[in-house]
Chain A
Amino acid sequence: MALGKYSWRAVRQRPLRVVLTFLSIVIGVGGVVAVLLATATTRAAQREMLRAVSGKADLEVVSDSSGGFAYQLLARIRQTAGVELAAPTIRRLGTLFHGEKKARTQILGIDPRIDQEIRDYKIVTGNRPATLNEILLDRSFAESLDLSVGSEVKLLGAGGLLDFRITGLVDPSGSTSLGLTGAAYLVLPAAQRLFRLGNNIDLVLVKVAPTEDVDVVAQRLRDLLQGHGVTVRRPRTSSDMARETMYATENGLLLAVAFSLLIASFLIYNTFQMAVGERRKQLGILRAVGATRRQVAGLILAEALVLSVLAAVVGCGLGYWGAGLLNGATERLLQVELPTVHWTPMPFVLGCLVGVVVAMVGALVPARRAARVHPMEAIRDIDTSTDALLIRRSWPAALTMLPLGAGILVAAVYQWLPVGGDVVGIVLILLGCVLMVPRILRRATGALVLAMAPWIAPEAMLAQRQLLRHIGRSSLTVGVLFIAISACTGMAGNILDNVDNVRTWYSRTIIGDFFVRASLPDFTTGLSADLPPELGQRLRQIPGVKTVAPLRFVTAQSGEDSLLIVARPLIDGTKNFFDLIDQAPGDVLDRLRQGEVVVGSVLAERRKLKVGDTLTISADTGKLELRIAGIANDYMAGGLTVYMTTEKAEELLGAGGASVFVITAEDNQRAEVEKRLAEICKSEGLILQSYAELVEFIDSVIEGVVASLWMLLALGCIIAAMGLVNTLTMNILEQTREIGMLRVVAMTRRQVRTMVVAQAMQLGVLGLVPGALAGVFVAYAIGQSAMAVLGHDVEFRARPGLVLGCLVLGLFIVLASAWLPAQRAARLKLSDALHYE
């Protein structure tokens, strides 16, 4: 009880110290919570991007025969563990009649209640079909036929000619727009009737629960459905490529979480060390007057517990509020829409756990030390022995951690470890670097003092001495800065690399402004049938049209995989048809002209193909051997693509003509060209797709990801800055008496300020400069480990601008953080300072 009173007195005597300690936990816990929430947002934004590129379905169950399979299987699929959603589908071709007009169309029988959760389209006008004679129609298809909501149409299927009324128009979005163009959507029983299918269906699209491994669920379904005449597979549009591209970013996010935990721990541990360490003398006196070690330790622990639990609660609130605030600010500032995240208790639990546990450890270590030393010794001023001990212990720890981390990283790059192994390796390496700081602190700060000497020699020297007085604490602060900046630059670099990759692909692969396609896409591949050959000529004659390239899609089989063959003419001297890996475009184009092919990177990785290898495929015309001229990053058809020239396709596959015309227009005539194209398409019953729409959508999603990234970075900066202000203020608080004496003896306010800022600068330079370099390494390392998974480099770009920017920003934050404590030190009242105990 007497000791409890003592605690309370200690709080009252040094309210600022208590407030700062409290704040450090609030900041740490808040930081962890906010980062976890923000990563959830980023992850959701990425999932949107992934879906945009590859569709929402994770698996599909398709019938092996043309008659479909029993609807009853759906119930069993739905009951399978890990299946979140299963949508039944009938997919057939039919013909649509409206007055005089008639057009082939893809007919989808769906369950309208759940279908939009798994297929990407928006109902732009009207409603979902509810009865047996209502349909939805693709908007551009409807426009090409002059149809609108309320129009009456007839559909012809194997079961006869039936009447329908259009209840709504839909716009397919994302890459599924390739597959869904020109479709009519019916309720399932109507489609069954139209094609006389009884109670059979063609296809079930399956969404797997986010917590489950898709391959595991696929295997479960295979076991379950064996002998029912169905195949379970990943959908064509669900591109491994896009999924795997996200893998690298996911890794970056893991890194962000690891870093936020590290920084929070450092921060909290540091302040508690300080707060309790500063009371070493008092604790020594307590011991001297008869408190037992247990009593002293109990006292400190109880204080830490109360303080940290209270602060953790406040921190959770702050983190939640801060993440929401940042989210909103990002949306407004960057004009993007971020997905809303359903919050789970995990971030809060983890945040609180870190706060309380680290606080206890941070308090107990100095308390035990204070309790151990002889009471008389504790009363002495400086505790140099522990610093020597720290150096003796940290150095070998650093020397073991560095090679250990490097080993783990290498193992991760060679894919001997599960996902996240590289993060563990990187974190270990960075920790190893931080552990080297105590040993080199003296020399490193010494060098900085020399550098500052021409201007502020005595101030710089005093600053250095103050830092050296508590080597552990200074090292931790350097560590916070080091880790914060390496995390920021590393993550930023890596994610920008990834986004760049996607963007590059878009700009290189979709080279046209408009696509013109027939209204009859092949639903299994997203392919359109041939376009009338004379159409190309007509399109070329439209004023403002620069180029018209006929593209032909053909499917083929190679072993297990069904491939998409894209035949294209090599015209216009355009160099960047492909996002080639490690090859000169000119060379590859030459070899393409000679009849070789370019394959997608996923295919190359899956089949271990290299440039110069031969790929065997079986097409309708028989087995073919294709020599590989190049490997390209590709996101179409899951990267299982083979590109060849139109001539070669005609020769080998007998596939002439075009499935799609890709049109580019002069920049200033796009609008007119679009108008003319629309007219032609309408009269021909063709579908016009503007590339801009598709890419705008993809772009907006990518922007969401980038925005989330900036949000994370901003968060990192804010946490680091707050932590720094806190640590520096605490440091200054502890120097109150010395500063008072210096002021009396010789120092002007300005000089005091300079000294404090010099302290911050020394910490800043020591932490930030190597940290920025480490950040480059982090980005490189993540890229390397991503390469193993993606089958190609996430092309690493040195970004001196980014690194320099982060560095300058970091130094600025350090200076700004030093300002408050510097001001406080300069304004210190001399008489108070001299009496400060």
Chain B
Amino acid sequence: MPIIEAIDVKKIYGAGEAQVAALQGVSLSINKGEFVAIMGPSGSGKSTLLTILGGIEAPSDGRVLLEGVDVAKMGDDERTILRRRRLGFIFQAFNLLPNLSAEENVRLPMELDRRPADQITKRCEETLALVDMTHRRHHLPSAMSGGEQQRVAIARALAIQPAVVLADEPTGNLDSRQSQRISTLLQRLAQENDQTIVMVTHEPAVARVASRLILIRDGRIEDDGPTAEVMSRAEMFTMVSE
């Protein structure tokens, strides 16, 4: 059974003249342990797809199944619990609570889930070390660079050991060395822990680490398959360089 399944998902924003069809019928299915990269031009609907897959937004049409359950049929609390135990989110921008330190930001989802304190501390230390942020753990987001904030956000998403990580340009603010570090980290999670990773990115170098690549254009899936194949097909149309 696929862990994530989208069936003919459509998303229309606004109404009348101002209507935008962000997704115009997307179907895909992702298996446990897969590392999927999503690429596409700006405004093509990548972020929208990610929020719908995570059950943050409801699709205008179509269905999303998470671990075989229709997200639309869940109650709000059920969805929240699902998000906090099974999904790890990394957003394109604005990831951290500005009034909490790095460490507190990482601990928060686990605390809200009422996990035992020693377990929280342990996970927090582990994941901050993973993203190399242990030394800044007591700093507020306003005292961190964009890339550092992004890394703390990644630590927070991973701390709960989610079944699925949904990451919207997690390396957007990072230099190439850190990008590399994060992408190999995600790769390891998929390979060793059997966690599922869905990641939006603009960087071919980062996408290359993924096992599968989905190309989106104008709200539709243009190509889907093993990363290397999709890349080589895309290069023929010079799409990725856009």
Residues of A within 8 A of B (CB): 380-382, 384, 457-459, 461-462, 465-466, 468-469, 737-738, 741-751, 830-831, 834
Bound Cα distance A798, B80 (Å): 51
Bound Cα distance A743, B97 (Å): 12
B77 x A744 contact (CB < 8 A)? no
Bound Cα distance A748, B54 (Å): 15
B99 x A469 contact (CB < 8 A)? yes
Which one of A382, A743, A831 lies within 8 Å of B80 (CB-CB)?
Answer: A743
B142 within 8 A of A: yes
Which one of A380, A468, A746 lies within 8 Å of B83 (CB-CB)?
Answer: A746
B133 within 8 A of A: no
B72 within 8 A of A: no
A831 x B83 contact (CB < 8 A)? no
Bound Cα distance A746, B82 (Å): 9
B95 x A746 contact (CB < 8 A)? no
CB distance from A605 to the nearest CB of B (A): 59
Residues of A contacting B113 with CB < 8 Å?
A: 746
Residues of B contacting A748 with CB < 8 Å?
A: 76-77, 80-81
**A-contact 0/1 string along B46-79, CB 8 Å cutoff:** 0000010010110000000000000000001100
Which one of B77, B95, B112 lies within 8 Å of A741 (CB-CB)?
Answer: B95
A738 x B97 contact (CB < 8 A)? yes
B89 within 8 A of A: yes
Residues of B contacting A384 with CB < 8 Å?
A: 142
Number of A-B contacts (CB under 8 A): 73
B235 within 8 A of A: no
Residues of B contacting A834 with CB < 8 Å?
A: 51, 56, 91, 94
- Majority-rule SS of A interface residues: helix
| Residues in B138-170 with C-beta less than 8 Å from chain A | 140-142, 156
Using CB atoms, name the residue of chain A closest to B109: A746
CB distance from B11 to the nearest CB of A (A): 10
CB distance from B91 to the nearest CB of A (A): 7
What are 12 contact pairs spanning A and B, CB under 8 A?
A381-B141, A382-B140, A458-B108, A468-B99, A469-B99, A742-B108, A744-B54, A745-B83, A746-B80, A747-B112, A830-B57, A834-B51
Q: Given A743-B80, A748-B81, does the pair A465, B142 have CB atoms closer than 8 Å?
A: no
CB distance from A469 to the nearest CB of B (A): 5
B228 within 8 A of A: no
B94 x A737 contact (CB < 8 A)? yes
Q: Given A745-B84, A746-B113, A831-B56, does the pair A469, B89 have CB atoms closer than 8 Å?
A: no
Q: Given A458-B108, A745-B84, A746-B80, does the pair A381, B56 have CB atoms closer than 8 Å?
A: no
Residues of A contacting B204 with CB < 8 Å?
A: none
Q: Given A458-B112, A746-B112, does the pair A381, B80 have CB atoms closer than 8 Å?
A: no
B229 within 8 A of A: no
B89 x A831 contact (CB < 8 A)? no
CB distance from B173 to the nearest CB of A (A): 15
Q: Given A458-B112, A469-B98, does the pair A745, B51 have CB atoms closer than 8 Å?
A: no
B100 within 8 A of A: yes
A380 x B112 contact (CB < 8 A)? no
B112 x A465 contact (CB < 8 A)? no
A741 x B94 contact (CB < 8 A)? yes
B111 within 8 A of A: yes
Residues of A contacting B81 with CB < 8 Å?
A: 748
CB distance from A593 to the nearest CB of B (A): 75
Residues of B contacting A746 with CB < 8 Å?
A: 80, 83-84, 108-109, 112-113
CB distance from B26 to the nearest CB of A (A): 17
CB distance from A288 to the nearest CB of B (A): 19
Bound Cα distance A462, B99 (Å): 8
Interface size class of chain B, counting residues whose CB lies under 8 Å from the partner chain: 20 to 34
Give the 6 A-B CB pairs with smallest separation, nearest first: A746-B109, A746-B84, A458-B111, A465-B99, A746-B112, A831-B57
B80 x A457 contact (CB < 8 A)? no
Using CB atoms, name the residue of chain B closest to A827: B76
Using CB atoms, name the residue of chain A closest to B105: A745
B89 x A744 contact (CB < 8 A)? yes
Which one of B76, B109, B140 lies within 8 Å of A749 (CB-CB)?
Answer: B76
Using CB atoms, name the residue of chain A closest to B160: A746
A457 x B108 contact (CB < 8 A)? no
B56 x A830 contact (CB < 8 A)? yes
Bound Cα distance A750, B82 (Å): 15
Which one of A382, A457, A749 lies within 8 Å of B98 (CB-CB)?
Answer: A382
Which one of B95, B99, B111, B156 lies within 8 Å of A466 (CB-CB)?
Answer: B99
A381 x B109 contact (CB < 8 A)? no
Which one of A458, A469, A831 lies within 8 Å of B51 (CB-CB)?
Answer: A831
CB distance from B204 to the nearest CB of A (A): 27
CB distance from A73 to the nearest CB of B (A): 79
Residues of A contacting B140 with CB < 8 Å?
A: 382
CB distance from A756 to the nearest CB of B (A): 15
Q: Given A749-B77, A830-B56, A831-B57, does the pair A381, B89 have CB atoms closer than 8 Å?
A: no
Q: Given A746-B84, A748-B80, A831-B51, does the pair A381, B98 have CB atoms closer than 8 Å?
A: yes
Using CB atoms, name the residue of chain A closest to B112: A746
A382 x B142 contact (CB < 8 A)? yes
Using CB atoms, name the residue of chain B closest to A458: B111
CB distance from B110 to the nearest CB of A (A): 8
Bound Cα distance A400, B231 (Å): 72
Bound Cα distance A743, B81 (Å): 10
Bound Cα distance A100, B226 (Å): 131
Known: A468-B99, A745-B84, A749-B76. 14 other contacts (CB 8 A): A457-B111, A458-B108, A458-B112, A462-B100, A462-B108, A465-B97, A745-B89, A746-B113, A747-B80, A748-B76, A748-B77, A748-B81, A831-B57, A834-B51
CB distance from A737 to the nearest CB of B (A): 6
Bound Cα distance A458, B109 (Å): 9
Residues of A contacting B56 with CB < 8 Å?
A: 744, 830-831, 834
Residues of A contacting B89 with CB < 8 Å?
A: 744-745
Residues of A contacting B109 with CB < 8 Å?
A: 745-746
Using CB atoms, name the residue of chain B closest to A457: B111
Residues of A contacting B54 with CB < 8 Å?
A: 744
Using CB atoms, name the residue of chain B closest to A382: B142
Residues of A contacting B100 with CB < 8 Å?
A: 462, 465
Instruction: Output the residue of A468, A737, A745, A748 with the most chain B CB within 10 A.
Output: A745
Bound Cα distance A741, B98 (Å): 11
Using CB atoms, name the residue of chain A closest to B85: A746
Residues of B contacting A381 with CB < 8 Å?
A: 98, 141-142
Residues of A contacting B57 with CB < 8 Å?
A: 830-831
Bound Cα distance A745, B109 (Å): 7
CB distance from A442 to the nearest CB of B (A): 12
CB distance from B30 to the nearest CB of A (A): 20
Residues of A contacting B112 with CB < 8 Å?
A: 458-459, 746-747, 751
CB distance from B158 to the nearest CB of A (A): 12
B83 x A744 contact (CB < 8 A)? yes
CB distance from B10 to the nearest CB of A (A): 15
Using CB atoms, name the residue of chain B closest to A829: B57
Residues of B contacting A743 with CB < 8 Å?
A: 80
Bound Cα distance A578, B89 (Å): 79
Bound Cα distance A747, B98 (Å): 17
Bound Cα distance A468, B97 (Å): 13
Residues of B contacting A382 with CB < 8 Å?
A: 98-99, 140, 142
CB distance from A678 to the nearest CB of B (A): 77
CB distance from B57 to the nearest CB of A (A): 4
CB distance from B107 to the nearest CB of A (A): 8
Bound Cα distance A459, B56 (Å): 21
Residues of B contacting A461 with CB < 8 Å?
A: 104
A750 x B94 contact (CB < 8 A)? no
A741 x B83 contact (CB < 8 A)? no
CB distance from B124 to the nearest CB of A (A): 13
CB distance from B127 to the nearest CB of A (A): 14
Using CB atoms, name the residue of chain A closest to B95: A741
Bound Cα distance A468, B101 (Å): 13
